[in-house]
Structure 1
């Protein structure tokens, strides 16, 4: 496998893993909690390092998963205590992320983790950090982590598809018929946490936030069907990774940053030209109706 192949595969896995999970958050109007979790998992990664002296593998996933769930719990506690939801997210997000930043300073030069790495990541280094067993090279660790998390997420969505759909569109009715709405909520938070930490080391928090929110928001403008929205979100995430990498190679700029910009390009296209909700399409349709009315009056 070539160097370019591994980078593209990693970017595509980030796009589909975060895109599918983030689409559910967009529907549930919880997009900003994805931003919070994508930053607060830094605390879980640092905490896992202090315990295991490594920032890779299962301990990192567990640490990030725990902090991701704690983020959701703290936000819910503040919100139920009378604090506005956006303010609650802001308080928890900044506090836990800042604590993770402070703890990084105690690590020093022991690992390749600093603030710039946490925000931007370095997907160009992914092909060199490989999984080696008994001398055999099985490819980048990031690809295995992302592939594993994607499999877990798809399995959970498949198993709890009806529950997720009902609790997303009508949580009151779902509660009445016995759907464990609270469990589904924290299950989703766990999925977001795992997706974030699997992507974090490769692409950083900025691209993770972009992939969690923008593909889902773009797909939301293109379809009204839940399953189609999930599929479209994953496809848009993959296309954003490919387009972003091509742009980065062409102009010699940040790969992760270019992929994030590409998600914005797709969103802008949907915002302007979506068949049902596109701004330009609406104006054209309105102009066409006006012309027809004028002809009818004449």
Structure 2
């Protein structure tokens, strides 16, 4: 594959995995918790480096998974103690992220981990970091993201009904005996591993954009969860492809351009969606007023 194709494939894998997970986060009104986890996994990555003295895929995944679940647990703990959810997310997010930044400066100042790298990443370097698996050479990030995507699809397939019920009607889930806390932390685990898999290549900003934007866009276009998952994956891929060529054309950040395209697609759907868009609502209000005027005239 060409240099361009590897970058586009990397962005597309991020868009698909994060987009599908984002659908459930949108339905459960937990989008900002995903934002928090995408930043606090920095602490998990640094912690994994301190323990193992190496930066490898499995170490980062384990560290990020632990810190991601801790983030969700601390937010849940503060929320159940009477702290407002947004305040709880803000306190946990900033505290754990700050600890990660401090640990970087103290223990990991000689490796390629820093706050700027964590936020922006550098997807342009992906095609140069190659490994060989089963005799096939390819970028490390592509193999890691591909493996995470397979895990996410398998977990969604295995627990689709349970996640669906918990997302739409938690009280019914409790009545049916579904372990809602297990499903909650399962989702947080998927967010954590997806985030850290994309962390080195694309940075936290694009991860947040892909976790929220495609799912929010799909939410405006359909009322069926299965279709919503498909649309979010398509939006993620389109954003990656279009964002790359915009970055090449304007000579700007590739990850930033992909995130920008996600926002543009959402804005267009927000205005022109046939069911939930602003235009359809304006037209519906105009027709209602017109019909009301006709009835009053009669």
Contact 1:130–1:137 (Cα < 8 Å) also in 2 = no
Equivalent position of 2:82 in the other structure:
82
Q: Which residues of 2 match residues 150-189 of structure 1 at below 5 A?
A: 150-189=149-188
Report how many residues are paired: 297
Q: Where does 1:54-65 land on structure 2 (aligned, <5 Å)?
A: 54-65=54-65
Does 2:260 correspond to 1:278?
no
Summarize the Cα distance change of 1:51–1:199 in structure 2 as closer, same or farther, 3 Å threshold.
same
Q: Give 1:83-122 correspondences, 5 Å limit.
A: 83-122=83-122
Contact in 2 for aligned 1:12/1:238 (Cα 8 Å) = yes
Instruction: Report the alpha carbon displacement of residue 292 of structure 1 after superposing the two structures with TM.
Output: 5.7
Shift of 1:114: 1.2
Q: Equivalent residue of 1:277, what SS?
A: coil
Distance 1:225 1:196 in 2: 26
State the shift of 1:291 in Å: 4.7
Partner of 2:217: 218
Shift of 1:72: 0.4
Deviation at 1:108, TM superposition (A): 4.7
Corresponding residue of 1:132: 132
Question: What's the secondary structure of 2:25's corresponding residue?
Answer: helix
What does 1:215-254 correspond to in 2, within 5 Å? 215-254=214-253
Query: Where do 4+ consecutive residues of structure 1 move more than 6 Å?
Result: none
Q: Which segment is superposed worse, 165-174 or 281-290?
A: 281-290
TM-score normalised per structure 1: 0.96
- In the alignment, which residue of structure 2 is the partner of 1:5? 5
Partner of 1:204: 203
Q: Evaluate the alpha carbon distance shift between residue 170 and residue 133 of structure 1 in structure 2; reply closer, same or farther with a 3 A threshold.
A: closer
Is the deviation greater in 9-18 or in 225-234? 225-234
Q: What CA distance in whole angstroms lies between the structure 2 residues aligned with 1:251 and 1:286? A: 41
Q: Identify unmatched segments of 5+ residues in structure 2.
A: none
Gaps of 5+ in 1: none
In the alignment, structure 1 residue 53 sits paired with structure 2 residue 76: no
1:254-273 to structure 2, matched below 5 A, reads 254-273=253-272
Stretch deviating more after TM superposition (40-49 or 54-63): 54-63
What's the Cα RMSD here? 1.6
SS of aligned partner of 1:138: strand
